């Protein structure tokens, strides 16, 4: 479970034995799972467990900003 990015109090993780489509798990006080390529092509929240709206919103902002890098990391780990 490599941490691929840390920003503020959030940790972005890509599991090595995970399934497509490309997504990340963002941990803070809870967990926000975010698809890197959502229905409209932009990242979108898939699931929230224990994170409040503010944390999940910040997680989505970070993933949007770093999307291309995170897709590269996903492909490197699962390629």
Structure confidence by residue, pLDDT tens digits, 21-54:
999 999 999 999 999 999 999 999 999 999 999 9
Task: Please choose, from the candidates 42, 67, 22, 41, the residue with its C-alpha nearest in 3D space to the C-alpha of residue 33.
Answer: 22
Stretch 4-15: mean pLDDT: 96
For residue 1, pLDDT over 90 is answered with no
| SS3 of residue 45 by DSSP | strand
For residue 18, pLDDT over 80 is answered with yes
Euclidean distance between CA atoms 3 and 56, whole angstroms: 17
What does pTM read for this prediction? 0.96
pLDDT at position 8 is 86
Task: Name every residue whose Cβ is closer than 8 Å to that of residue 36 and which is 6 or more positions away in sequence.
Answer: 21, 22, 23, 24, 43, 63, 67, 70, 71, 74
How many folded domains does the chain comprise? Answer: 1
pLDDT at position 46 is 98
Q: For residue 21, what are the domain limits?
A: 3-78
């Amino acid at each position: 479970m490599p941490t691929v990015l840390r920003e503020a109090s959030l940790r972005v993780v890509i599991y090595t034995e995970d399934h497509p489509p490309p997504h990340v798990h963002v941990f803070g006080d809870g967990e926000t799972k975010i698809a890197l390529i959502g229905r409209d092509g932009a990242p979108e929240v898939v699931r929230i467990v224990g994170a409040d709206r503010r944390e999940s919103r910040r997680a989505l902002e970070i993933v949007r900003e770093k999307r291309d890098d995170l897709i590269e990391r996903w492909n490197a780990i699962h390629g």
